[in-house]
A and B are shown apart, each in its own frame.
Chain A
Amino acid sequence: MNIHSYEKVWLIAAMLLIVGFIATITYGSVALGITMVDDSEETIDPNALEEHERFGDLGVHQTDSDEYDVHVRAYQFNFEPGSSALGTHDPIVIPQGSEVTFYVTSPDVIHSFSLVGTNVNTMVVPGEISTMTAEFDEAREYGVVCNEYCGSGHHGMEGLVKVVPEDEFHLFSVADVDAPESIEAGEETELTATIDNDALQTEAATVTLEIGDEQFDTDVEVDAEASAEATFTVDTSDLDLEDADDLDWTVTVEADSPATLEDGSTSGTIDLETDEDDEEADDEDDEADDEDDDPNDDDESTGDDE
Chain B
Amino acid sequence: MSAYIDQFPAEAKVIRSAFYTSFIALALGAAFGLIQTLHRTDIVRVIPSEMYYTVLTAHGVLLVVTFTIFFLVAIFTWAVTTSLDRGVEDIRFTWSWYVLMSLGTLFAAVAILAGFTDRTEMSADVLFTFYAPLQAHPIFYIGLVLFVIGTWLAGADWFRSWWAWKQENPDERIPLPTFMVLTTMIMWYLATLGVATSIIVFLIPWSLGLIDTVNPTLTRTLFWFWGHPVVYFWLMPAYMMWYVMLPKFSGGRLFSDPLARVVFVLFLLLSTPVGIHHQYLDPGIAEGFKFIAMTNTMFLLLPSLLTAFTVVASMEHGARQRGGEGYFGWLGALPWRDPVFAGMALAGLMFAAGGFSGMINAGMNINYLVHNSLWVPGHFHLTVGTAVALTFMAVSYHFIPQVTGRRLASKQIALFQVVLWFIGMTFMSNAMHRGGLLGMPRRTAEPEYDFPFETAIGTVGELNAQIALGGVLLTLSTVLFVANMLITALNDPADDLPSNTIPEPLSGSEDAPLVLDNLKLWTAIAVVLVIFAYSLPLGSIVERGGLFGPGGDAFPMFIEFVEGTVFGLTGDSVSSLVNSPLEWLRAMR
Interface residues of A (CB under 8 A from B): 1-4, 6-7, 10-11, 14-15, 17-18, 21-22, 24-25, 28-29, 34-39, 41, 43-48, 76, 85, 107-110, 112, 114, 116-131, 141-143, 145-156, 158, 160
Contact = CB atoms under 8 A, between A and B. Distances in A.
A39 B281 CA distance: 11
Given A10-B306, A114-B439, A145-B441, A39 B368 contact: no
Contacts of A131: 283
Contact of B513 (A1, A6, A17, A107): A1
15 contacts: A3-B259, A6-B313, A7-B256, A34-B365, A36-B365, A37-B281, A43-B544, A47-B552, A110-B134, A110-B220, A114-B439, A117-B453, A122-B281, A129-B283, A158-B449
Contacts of A36: 280-281, 287, 290, 364-365
A49 to B, nearest CB: 11
A117 B294 contact: no
Given A7-B309, A21-B298, A127 B363 contact: no
Contact of A154 (B53, B309, B365): B53
A45 B551 contact: yes
Nearest to A13: B305
A155 B49 contact: yes
Contact of B443 (A18, A128, A154, A156): A154
Nearest to A112: B372
Interface string B508-519: 000111000000
A132 B445 CA distance: 27
A4 B50 CA distance: 56
A46 B306 contact: no
A260 to B, nearest CB: 20
B362 A43 contact: no
Given A110-B216, A116-B451, 20 more contacts: A2-B258, A3-B259, A14-B302, A22-B298, A29-B291, A37-B283, A38-B287, A39-B285, A107-B552, A109-B555, A114-B441, A126-B216, A126-B549, A128-B283, A148-B443, A151-B125, A151-B555, A154-B444, A155-B49, A160-B451
A217 to B, nearest CB: 33
Interface in B47-85: 49-50, 52-53, 56
Nearest to A142: B451
A35 B287 contact: yes
Interface of B: 49-50, 52-53, 56, 125, 127, 131, 133-134, 215-217, 220, 255-256, 258-259, 279-287, 290-291, 294-295, 298-299, 301-302, 305-306, 309-310, 313, 359, 362-366, 368-369, 371-373, 438-439, 441-447, 449-451, 453-454, 507, 511-513, 540, 544-545, 549-553, 555, 557
A125 B221 CA distance: 12
A29 B286 CA distance: 14
